[in-house]
């Protein structure tokens, strides 16, 4: 039997390795699914790292191939009787335990990376606000450059909307685009960033039916609200006020009857200014009527004031690229806020340190193991 002490016993190692693997994975999956499915306050902060545990079977296969390779090398080195004099006796069980601690150290370090967490308390977050529908005029007249030589009325209106949303907190905002027709462009949301991103690509070419129907825009805004949810509401119209249909005052009054405040923001100047015309994004000249005369547009400030008055709101006007929204924002802030959302958030406590400590401990233990058979055991097996 002396010669066998210098060769690894593959069957013994294989048995203990497979047994330890079976126990590990049964315990791992059992605890994992129990904690994830049955314990509400438990989670892995970085659960994606758990996929690294698939490296463990690769380590196992590599370890077994290493044992096979060592045995082949030892057998090629010399006759088994000579190995007693050429090599140190090896312990298959000590080799297994060395691998066992290394393999489990890696497993615990991976679990530490995933950071198991357990809820230690909860925080209730309440969002209060109102619902606001923005009605943005995208008629051809919004191409006019009377507010700024480099920015048309529509661009200044978009800047005003961004200024408005930067001063809102917890309010839901939606968007209706209108010209001769009107349609819902964005439903009510608290994602102000998405609103500004989507509005950046809005152009008059999106509306085939040109004109300016403020009344229809108010009607579409009212249809976007849930009038039964008890949340206070407001409509803000950004337009040059060239209303060709004449029912804006009627719709504003109807909105006021539903306790919806209608505000207006004037885009443009009272002085007549030509309308640039574009084709495929390229400037092709100034807009002309059927007789070939240049079409001009001007801010209808009187109408916008009347609409705001009929809707119980305020009128603001753009001055160059600046739109003074102070009065409008004050009015919105003074509207009674309603609880919009109430969410419960868990505060989690990290527990990665326990698995990190066990993993490092196993690495230290593994470093003290050698595959050499101890002197006492070797002597007993000789007897």
Q: Do both 338 and 356 map to the same domain? A: no
CATH code at position 226: 3.40.50.410
Q: Does a structural domain hold residue 16?
A: yes
CB neighbour list of residue 362: distance below 8 Å, 6 or more residues apart: 101, 102, 104, 105, 108
- CA 234 remoteness from chain centre: 28
Q: Do both 355 and 338 map to the same domain? A: no
Q: Does a structural domain hold residue 20?
A: yes
Q: Does a structural domain hold residue 266?
A: yes
pTM, two decimals, is 0.59
Q: Does a structural domain hold residue 14?
A: yes
Q: In 3D, which of 75, 198, 209 has the Cα closest to residue 138?
A: 209
Q: Does a structural domain hold residue 120?
A: no
Q: Which whole-number Å values give the CA distances from 119 to 222, 343, 354, in the listed order?
A: 43, 16, 16
Q: How many domains does the chain have?
A: 2
Q: Does a structural domain hold residue 59?
A: yes
User: pLDDT tens digit string along 187-229?
Assistant: 999 899 999 999 999 998 888 877 778 999 999 999 999 988 8
Q: Do both 151 and 260 map to the same domain? A: yes
Provide Rg for the chain, Cα atoms: 38
Q: Do both 336 and 355 map to the same domain? A: no
Q: Do both 47 and 73 map to the same domain? A: yes
Which residue stretches of 39-91 are H helix? Answer: 55-77, 80-86
Q: Do both 224 and 205 map to the same domain? A: yes
User: pLDDT tens digit string along 291-347?
Assistant: 778 888 889 999 999 999 999 999 999 888 888 888 888 888 888 777 666 555 567
Q: Does a structural domain hold residue 216?
A: yes
Q: Does a structural domain hold residue 56?
A: yes
Q: Do both 110 and 47 map to the same domain? A: yes
CA gap 91, 178 in Å, rounded: 84
Range of the domain at 160: 126-342
């Amino acid at each position: 039997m002396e010669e066998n002490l210098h060769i690894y016993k593959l069957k013994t190692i294989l048995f203990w390795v497979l047994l330890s693997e079976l126990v590990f994975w049964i315990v791992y999956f059992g605890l994992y699914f129990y904690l994830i499915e049955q314990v509400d306050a438990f989670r892995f902060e970085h659960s994606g790292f758990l996929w690294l545990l698939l490296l463990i079977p690769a380590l196992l296969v590599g370890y077994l191939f290493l044992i096979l390779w060592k045995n082949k090398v030892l057998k090629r080195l010399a006759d088994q009787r000579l190995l007693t004099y050429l090599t140190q006796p090896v312990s298959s069980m000590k080799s297994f335990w060395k691998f066992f601690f290394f393999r489990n150290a890696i497993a615990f370090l991976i679990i530490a990376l995933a950071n198991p967490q357990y809820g230690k308390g909860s925080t209730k977050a309440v969002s209060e606000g109102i619902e606001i529908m923005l009605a943005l005029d995208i008629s051809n007249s919004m191409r006019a450059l009377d507010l700024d030589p480099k920015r048309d009325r529509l661009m200044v209106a978009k800047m005003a909307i961004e200024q408005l949303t930067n001063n809102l907190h917890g309010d839901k905002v939606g968007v209706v685009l209108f010209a001769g027709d009107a349609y819902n462009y964005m439903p009510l949301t608290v994602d102000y960033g998405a609103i500004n991103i989507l509005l950046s690509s809005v152009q008059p070419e999106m509306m085939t039916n040109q004109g300016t129907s403020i009344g229809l825009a108010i009607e579409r805004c009212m249809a976007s609200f849930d009038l039964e949810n008890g949340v206070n509401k407001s409509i803000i119209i950004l337009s040059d006020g060239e209303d060709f249909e004449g029912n804006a005052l009627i719709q504003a009054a109807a909105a006021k009857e539903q306790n919806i405040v209608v505000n207006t923001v004037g885009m443009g100047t009272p002085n007549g200014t030509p309308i640039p015309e574009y084709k495929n994004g390229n400037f092709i000249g100034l807009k002309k009527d059927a007789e070939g005369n240049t079409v001009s547009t001007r801010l209808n400030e009187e109408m916008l004031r009347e609409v705001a008055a009929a809707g119980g709101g305020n009128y603001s006007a753009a001055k160059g690229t600046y739109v003074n929204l102070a009065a409008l924002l004050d009015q919105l802030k003074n509207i009674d806020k309603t609880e919009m959302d109430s969410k419960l958030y868990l505060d989690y406590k990290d527990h990665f340190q326990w698995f990190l400590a066990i993993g490092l401990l196993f690495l230290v233990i593994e470093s003290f193991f050698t595959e050499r058979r101890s002197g006492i055991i070797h002597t007993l097996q000789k007897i």
